[in-house]
Amino acid sequence: MRGSVECGWGWGHCAPSPLLLWTLLLFAAPFGLLGEKTRQVSLEVIPNWLGPLQNLLHIRAVGTNSTLHYVWSSLGPLAVVMVATNTPHSTLSVNWSLLLSPEPDGGLMVLPKDSIQFSSALVFTRGSCC
């Protein structure tokens, strides 16, 4: 059929927009931890003292029984990581040497690891837009 577009999930012009994916990530994913009415929010810039100008922005939202960690990164393409924990005492650990290495596993961690209830990441890559 002329002019018709066959769409599959995540393909071509029918792919969901990054804004839609980010909205789902923020509002739909950690429903079990969103029941708290108030959270203490803090922002922290974590600079890389070892080399080139690269920073992380850590947004920490602490409730009575949980914490939401958002980490924005400018290392390579713009990216954000969200981690939800079931404790108000979870912390972010950054090891720049590992994070910038060819094998960055363990370079960015939320501790204690067993408190993590949900985690997700979104990378904003350059590309053609609709």
DSSP state of 9: T
Residue percentage of the chain with pLDDT more than 70: 68
Mean pLDDT value across residues 108-129: 85
pLDDT in tens, 10-57: 444 445 566 655 555 555 445 555 566 788 999 999 988 877 778 899
Q: Which residue has the higher pLDDT, 2 or 54?
A: 54
The HSE-up count of residue 59 (CA atoms within 13 Å, CB side) is: 9
Q: What is the C-alpha to C-alpha distance for residues 46 and 129, in angstroms, rounded to an integer?
A: 31
Tokens 């890389």, residue?
48
